[in-house]
Each structure stands twice: as structure tokens, then as C-alpha cells.
Amino acid sequence: MAILTDVQVALVKSSFEEFNANIPKHTHRFFTLVLEIAPTAKDLFSFLKGTNEVPQNNPDLQAHAGKVFKLTYEAAIQLQVNGAVATDATLKNLGSVHVSKGVIDAHFPVVKEAILKTIKEVVGDKWSEELNNAWTIAYDELAIIIKKEMKDAA
């Protein structure tokens, strides 16, 4: 369990807003990074199967990546307010979906690395160790809950 400070949450919020300012570009970059880090992850996503490159302006890709970033942002807020990420129906469902798609624990560090690299590119010279730590803590705490729900769903 971790608590984020007001400053850390403000950093996550402002970088999340910058991410949202260009969803097509940033979601495409996120999935490009995922596949650079773990090329075999392509088979986990219906919108990437049968293609050799990440499609531009794909609504399913944008929705999926957008949800990953939004859930991580929301986890940051929960950590500030409650000191923990609460399990809810969305996260319970994500556990089941991840199990059905073949997601394993080893995939989570790949996603985290791609999130951090994407945010670093989004914010440019505003990147800092504190911003990195805030996104890392939020994602790690979210991942703990999703992994728990995956175990419960298996």
C-alpha cells in the first residue's frame, strides 16, 4: 500500500491531461512501445493480430490504451484520497478478461515500461524523478489489484 502526495497526484494529473490532448498519437506510441519491448504481445490484442505494424487511428487501440492510462490516473487519485486502490466491478472484470486473453504476470512490467516511456515523451522536459515515481506507484498498486482479480478468476 502506498500513498501519493498532493504534488505527485498533480504531476500525474497534468501529464495525463497532456496525454489526452493527443489520444491518436500517444495511444499509437504506447502500443508501438509495448511491441518494441515484447513483440509477442501482439497476439494478446485483437486489433493487432494479423498486422505487422501498429495501426494508425484505430478506435479499439485508442480505447484500450486510453483505459490503461485512465485507470492508472484514477489509481493515483485513490492512493492520495484513500491510501489504497479499491477493487470495483471494473477491476474484477479486468481480472477475468486478462485471464481469458492469456495475460500473465510477466506482461505487467512491459505495460509499465511502455506507460513510463510514453509519459516521458508526452511531457518532454517536464519529466522528473518524482513524476516517474508517481506513475510507477500508481501503476504498481493498480497491477496488484488486477493480478489478485486474475487469480480469483482463474
Q: What per-residue confidence (pLDDT) applies to 49? A: 85
pLDDT digits (tens, 9 = 90+) for 96-134: 999 999 999 999 999 999 999 999 999 999 999 999 999
Contact 108, 143 (CB under 8 A): yes
Q: What per-residue confidence (pLDDT) applies to 53? A: 87
Q: What per-residue confidence (pLDDT) applies to 51? A: 83
Alpha carbon separation from 7 to 14, 65, 85, 142, 146 (Å, rounded): 11, 25, 18, 19, 26
Tell me: pLDDT of 17 over 70: yes
Tell me: pLDDT of 2 over 80: no
Contact 112, 139 (CB under 8 A): yes
pLDDT digits (tens, 9 = 90+) for 130-144: 999 999 999 999 999
Residue 1's pLDDT band, with cuts at 50, 70 and 90, is low
Q: How far apart are CA 104 and CA 136, in angstroms?
A: 19
Q: What per-residue confidence (pLDDT) applies to 121? A: 98
pLDDT digits (tens, 9 = 90+) for 48-67: 988 888 999 999 999 999 99
Mean predicted confidence (pLDDT) in 15-26: 97
Q: How far apart are CA 26 and CA 59, in angstroms?
A: 13
pLDDT digits (tens, 9 = 90+) for 63-104: 999 999 999 999 999 999 999 999 999 999 999 999 999 999
